[in-house]
Structure 1
Amino acid sequence: MPGQTPEPSAGPQSVSPPEPLPESPPEPTPSGIRSGVLLRLVSAGLFVVMSLFVRLATVEAPIGQIVFYRSAFALPPIVAYLMWRRQFPSALKTRQPVGHLKRNLYGGAAMVLSFISLAYLPLALATALGFLAPLFAVPAAMLFLRERPGAVAIGAALTGFAGVVLMLAPAFEGPTLDRNTIIGVAAGLSMAVATAAGRVEIKTLTATEAPGTIAFYFALLCALGGLASLPFGWSTPTAHSLAFLVGAGVTGGLAHITMTEAMARAPVSTQAPFDYTAMLWALILDAAIFGLFPSPASLAGAFVIAASALVVPLAGRFTTRSEALRPAR
């Protein structure tokens, strides 16, 4: 097995030991998968709240300024998390600086594109477009992480995507599409691709990096990137706008911590269907804050999304019970 000391060879001659094989990531345990799924559900809800703050902030603030606040005010909860884990400042040492740069390239692009989508689309529609990322994440995890998701995980992701299609259908009714919808949908589709690539890079980083390390460098580098947009013009935020900007940062930091912890505990492909539960929160917030009520097709899509998120744990419980009842041979 990787990491074990090879047994000495028989015979008088000395043989040089073989090159050590690269260590494989440990197999996820059932308890680890359960905790990873729970953390992913919490992360999905926090990301929706963050998106709400971002959408409210876009009324006054430009995208670069929102990126700065979203990232800079995510740093305090991340540092507090590292201190609570007794990993500060030791966790700031990294063994994969290039990996962090790649992750920030994908994640930063996804953040900017997500904010553009939120600026032009309703919260539920922008969130629905983000759900293309889990669908892309399943084949990406198979190709780049050598994960082997079962038929249940693949089927649940595809079923959730069918629910997203149902929710998107009303937005494309009518003879023409308005300019805002075209810009928002294009940004959302591009964001989904960048997000899927970023998730694969996060999973790679978790082999050697602590979750807090990944979250810290993402927030730090994105804050610097947002600050670089200052010469292009920032607005002077009102009290309400400032609250939205700071709220986006704090909830974004907490969401990123829980997401990264989830990635370290469970396979990417297993977590993918649970992203869809965020749509339920987006529908509620759209109705409560903006007075936007879903169409029957959107409600049907939300039901399909929720059902797909329940498939994996129910199937896992059924499999466990079946194995327990199987007679020993």
Structure 2
Amino acid sequence: MPGQTPEPSAGSHADSVPNPFPVPSSSGNSAGIMLRLVSAGLFVVMSLFVRLASVEAPIGQIVFFRSAFAIPPIVAYLMWRRQFPSALRTRQPVGHLKRNFYGGMAMVLSFVSLAYLPLALATALGFLAPLLAVPAAMLFLRERPGAVAIGAALVGFAGVVLMLVPAFEGPTPDRGTLIGVAAGLAMAFATAAGRVQIKTLTATEAPGTIAFYFALLCALGGLASWPFGWVTPSGLSLACLIGAGISGGLAHITMTEAMARASVSTQAPFDYTAMLWALILDAAIFGLLPSPVSLAGAFVIAASALVVPLSGRFTARSEALRPAR
């Protein structure tokens, strides 16, 4: 979803990396699901703060605040885990730069999308990232996804077409919607590329290390935009800028803790509660609801993204139940 820093794949480690988390058990599933629900809500709150701040602040300034104010919660979390400062050691500095390049582009593009689209539509476009990760994994990681994953990716793009239909209604296209959807699509591509890079990082790096350096490097990148025009934000905009960073950092912490307590496939369905939160906030704060066609497209994207982890889960369960030959 827009502005999201952590990735589910960041929870996997090679044997050479000490695993700070216990193996998820059935007793921990409830806690993991609850934390995932909180994380999904926090990411939507972060997106709301970004959307409100974008009325006054330029994108580079938002990137700085979103990243800089995420660092204190991440550091506090690492200290609580007794992984600070040891988690700051890295074996792949160039890998972090590559991940930051893709992730930084994804963050900027997601903020552009949020500036032009309702929260629900921008959130739905964020769900394209796991679908785009399917062809990216085929090209760069030599993975061979099944027919279900490939079909879900194609159906997800059909959802994007539905979302675009209202933009072409009337005598002239809706320029704002076109810009927002184009930025959201580009964000999903950049996020998918970043996930491939994260997969390589997890061979030696812990999730906290990846998150810390992403926030640090993005903050420096946002700060570099200062000469090109920052504003002196009003009280409300400043609160939104700071709130975006803190809620983003807390969202990462709750997501990481959820991964410690339940498997990714168990949590996956609850990621899509973000759509519900986004619709509620759009209606309550902005008085906005997407058109029925756009809303249908958003749910097609979310359902397609949900099919991939669920199909893998059911396949693994059926193979476990299959009698040995």
TMscore range, shorter length: 0.7 to 0.9
Q: Which has the larger radius of gyration?
A: 1
Q: Deviations over 1:179-217 (max 9, x none)?
A: 333433332232222111111111211111011111111
Amino acid at match of 2:164: L
Q: 1:60 aligns with which of 38, 52, 56?
A: 56
Name the stretch that deviates more: 108-117 or 173-182: 173-182
Q: 1:205 aligns with which of 192, 195, 201?
A: 201
User: What is the distance in 2 between the residues matched to 1:161 and 1:262?
Assistant: 29
State yes or no: 1:254 paired with 2:288.
Answer: no
Change in 2 beyond 3 A, CA 1:324/1:50? same
- Structure 1: tracts of 5 or more residues without a match: 1-22
User: What is the distance in 2 between the residues matched to 1:117 and 1:302?
Assistant: 14
User: What is the distance in 2 between the residues matched to 1:190 and 1:305?
Assistant: 15
User: What is the distance in 2 between the residues matched to 1:41 and 1:148?
Assistant: 31
Amino acid at match of 1:46: L
Q: 1:48 aligns with which of 44, 51, 66?
A: 44
Q: Secondary structure of the equivalent of 2:185?
A: helix
Residue matched to 2:83: 87
Residue matched to 1:102: 98
Amino acid at match of 1:296: P
Change in 2 beyond 3 A, CA 1:154/1:285? farther
Matches within 5 A, 1:80-159: 80-159=76-155
Change in 2 beyond 3 A, CA 1:309/1:101? closer
CA contact (8 A) 2:116 2:179 kept: yes
Q: CA deviation at 1:153?
A: 3.1
TM-score, with structure 2 as normaliser = 0.78
Residue matched to 1:77: 73
User: What is the distance in 1 between the residues matched to 2:270 and 2:199?
Assistant: 17
Q: Deviations over 1:237-284 (max 9, x none)?
A: 2222122111110122233456678899979x9999876553333222
CA contact (8 A) 2:70 2:249 kept: yes
User: What is the distance in 1 between the residues matched to 2:172 and 2:269?
Assistant: 32
Q: 2:237 aligns with which of 229, 234, 241?
A: 241
Q: CA deviation at 1:313?
A: 5.8
Aligned residues: 303
Change in 2 beyond 3 A, CA 1:322/1:213? closer
Amino acid at match of 1:212: G
RMSD of aligned Cα (Å): 3.6
Amino acid at match of 1:159: V
Q: CA deviation at 1:133?
A: 2.4
CA contact (8 A) 1:157 1:273 kept: no
Q: Secondary structure of the equivalent of 1:246?
A: helix
User: What is the distance in 2 between the residues matched to 1:325 and 1:164?
Assistant: 37
User: What is the distance in 2 between the residues matched to 1:242 and 1:135?
Assistant: 35
Amino acid at match of 2:120: A
Change in 2 beyond 3 A, CA 1:321/1:97? closer
User: What is the distance in 2 between the residues matched to 1:86 and 1:186?
Assistant: 42
Q: 1:288 aligns with which of 273, 279, 284?
A: 284
Amino acid at match of 2:172: T
Matches within 5 A, 1:300-319: 300-308=296-304, 310-312=306-308, 315-316=311-312, 318-319=314-315
Residue matched to 2:211: 215
- Structure 2: tracts of 5 or more residues without a match: 1-13, 18-22
Q: 2:173 aligns with which of 174, 177, 180?
A: 177
Amino acid at match of 2:42: L
Q: Secondary structure of the equivalent of 2:149?
A: helix
Q: CA deviation at 1:308?
A: 3.6
Sequence identity of aligned pairs in percent? 86
CA contact (8 A) 2:159 2:298 kept: yes
Amino acid at match of 1:209: E
Change in 2 beyond 3 A, CA 1:202/1:272? farther
Greater relative CO, 1 or 2 (CA 8 Å, sep 6+): 2
Q: CA deviation at 1:86?
A: 1.2
User: What is the distance in 2 between the residues matched to 1:321 and 1:102?
Assistant: 36
Q: CA deviation at 1:84?
A: 1.9
CA contact (8 A) 2:42 2:247 kept: yes
CA contact (8 A) 1:42 1:255 kept: yes
User: What is the distance in 2 between the residues matched to 1:278 and 1:194?
Assistant: 21
Amino acid at match of 2:196: V
